[in-house]
Structure 1
Amino acid sequence: MEQQLAGEVEMLRYARQLKLLGEEGQQALKEATVMVAGIGGLGGTAALYLAAAGVGKLILAHEGIIVPPDLNRQILMDHDHLGMERMSTAVAQLKRLNPHVEIEGYNSRIELEAARPWVEQADIVIDARYDFPERYALNRLCVQTGTPMVEAAMYGFEISLTTMIPGETACLECLYPDIQQDWEPLGFPVLGATSGIAGCLAALETVKWITRVGAAYAGVMHRFNTLDFACYSVHVTRNPDCACCNQGR
């Protein structure tokens, strides 16, 4: 069932972006469901700007409680909620920002069977998880369900971004066929502003995909170093031997 823009209230809220997206684009956002896997510095920023933009439904997944090292970058969290569940705090913050957005929040890691119904509901997924096992699980679910995935990551001062379209572009396992054993998920260096830029780029890519305003960054990996603003893009192709997206072909 289509959700219609709620008259003057929402038209005023989105007045400035309507100049860019048009009413048709804004309506497409209203009708869209986006899953954001991870609501830390990157995913939390993406969720914030998607809620602000008027996405109709957000499905969020991230486990755990708020701890002091979160607070340099996780803008949906705050000092007064230290020790409390991360997800409930994030959902409350987003609802305060935009009560028109429907939000499902799950205090959970990404696991194949648990996350399947969330991915199945989504029109597009943002991968903002901090470890490779969860990223691989999410990638496999997106391939199985045919759901586009914005793959966004950062480490130190560097940001990586691409959009993966099952059956058309490389999937995550095409690019990284082996689990990254040297990844340090609980202690990698991060500056809040860098993860925030990555989250904004992921949100922008998602809005572009939903509204068809501009071209999605599909089949291309963009790298951006926030320390010196150096950037480059490389074309990425499917691996014919990929154990995920080419299995059984």
Structure 2
Amino acid sequence: MMSSFVQQTFRYDRQLKLLGEEGQKKLKSSVVMVAGIGGLGGTAAIYLAAAGVGKLILAHEGTIQLPDMNRQILMDSSCIGEERIGTAMQNLRRINPEVEIEGYNDKITYKEAEPWVNGADIVIDARYDFPERYELNRLCVAAGKPLVEAAMYGFEVSITTIVPKKTPCLVCLYPQISVDWEPLGFPVLGATSGLAGCMAAMEAVKWITGIGKPFMNVMHRINTLDMSSYTVAVKRNLTCTCCQG
């Protein structure tokens, strides 16, 4: 039988060619929080688990519903009506039993999520509504933790990495909640949310291992219908009520 060390090396053989042993060790010792494990966050969690992060902290409330199944690839049709978080944790352990999984059947509130954010090295925001995204942003600013802000709507994906005191925070970018925002029932194609999730996972891997250049101080957007994309520079709001305190 393979030794544990040899087995681990063999599992990550393909990416060791890219990250090197030092990069893989950094992943192994890292803790990533994924807020939301639907189509976007669930995809990010899958690839982070497959990559061999040491620990995943997951948060998502509620039960699996049939309309989730067009995009939430961590879920299982046989578990409709059951808690999302339990199914997600079970499926992630099947993908990589070496990863420690911690899960919470909760929304993001400041009080509940504070220890989760404090315990993470980097946070991925994959929540579907702005109130929870603002709470997560406030927590990351207070804790000084980087936040991968990934989102999609219809066929468009957007992503930026927020680093407190170095980049604009979410409130800098969106000072007010749009009155036109529809928190539930917005249009989603699974492949679009999956692309956003893959990009978010890549941002976390880059941050943890030090390879490449994270999307800091820029917002990157992709229209998946024609694969056009653009990147715009973003700046901190010097009067921001969140990150300038």
Secondary structure in 2 matching 1:162? strand
Equivalent in the alignment of 2:94: 96
- The one-letter code of the counterpart of 1:36 is V
Equivalent in the alignment of 2:211: 213
Separation in 2 of the partners of 1:121 and 1:182? 34
Q: In the alignment, which of 35, 45, 52 is matched to residue 54 of structure 1?
A: 52
Secondary structure in 2 matching 1:16? helix
Secondary structure in 1 matching 2:123? strand
Whether 2:36 is the aligned partner of 1:38: answer yes
Whether 2:147 is the aligned partner of 1:162: answer no
- The one-letter code of the counterpart of 1:187 is G
1:6 Cα deviation (Å)? Answer: 4.4
Equivalent in the alignment of 2:142: 144
Q: Which runs of 5+ in 1 are unaligned?
A: none
Separation in 2 of the partners of 1:142 and 1:24? 27
Secondary structure in 2 matching 1:199? helix
Secondary structure in 1 matching 2:151? strand
Separation in 1 of the partners of 2:179 and 2:76? 32
Secondary structure in 1 matching 2:215? coil
- The one-letter code of the counterpart of 1:9 is Q
Secondary structure in 1 matching 2:221? strand
Secondary structure in 1 matching 2:103? strand
TM-score under structure 2 length normalisation = 0.98
- The one-letter code of the counterpart of 1:168 is K
Separation in 2 of the partners of 1:15 and 1:111? 39
Where has structure 1 moved over 2 Å in runs of 4 or more? none
Equivalent in the alignment of 1:172: 170
Q: In the alignment, which of 187, 190, 198 is matched to residue 189 of structure 1?
A: 187
1:219 Cα deviation (Å)? Answer: 0.7
Equivalent in the alignment of 2:130: 132
- The one-letter code of the counterpart of 1:179 is I
1:181 Cα deviation (Å)? Answer: 2.3
Equivalent in the alignment of 1:243: 241
Separation in 1 of the partners of 2:91 and 2:30? 20
Decide whether aligned partners of structure 1 residues 95 and 140 sit closer, same or farther in structure 2, where only a CA change above 3 A counts.
same
Separation in 2 of the partners of 1:79 and 1:215? 38
Equivalent in the alignment of 1:112: 110
Q: Which runs of 5+ in 2 are unaligned?
A: none
* Identity %, equivalent residues: 67
Separation in 2 of the partners of 1:183 and 1:37? 19
Secondary structure in 1 matching 2:18? helix
- The one-letter code of the counterpart of 1:206 is A
Equivalent in the alignment of 1:231: 229
Secondary structure in 2 matching 1:130? coil
CA RMSD of aligned residues (A): 0.9
- The one-letter code of the counterpart of 1:43 is G
Separation in 2 of the partners of 1:239 and 1:6? 49
- The one-letter code of the counterpart of 2:41 is G
- The one-letter code of the counterpart of 2:189 is L
1:162-202 CA deviation, whole Å, 9 max, x = no partner?
A: 00000100000000001222211111000000000000000
Separation in 2 of the partners of 1:217 and 1:6? 36
Secondary structure in 2 matching 1:44? helix
Secondary structure in 1 matching 2:208? helix
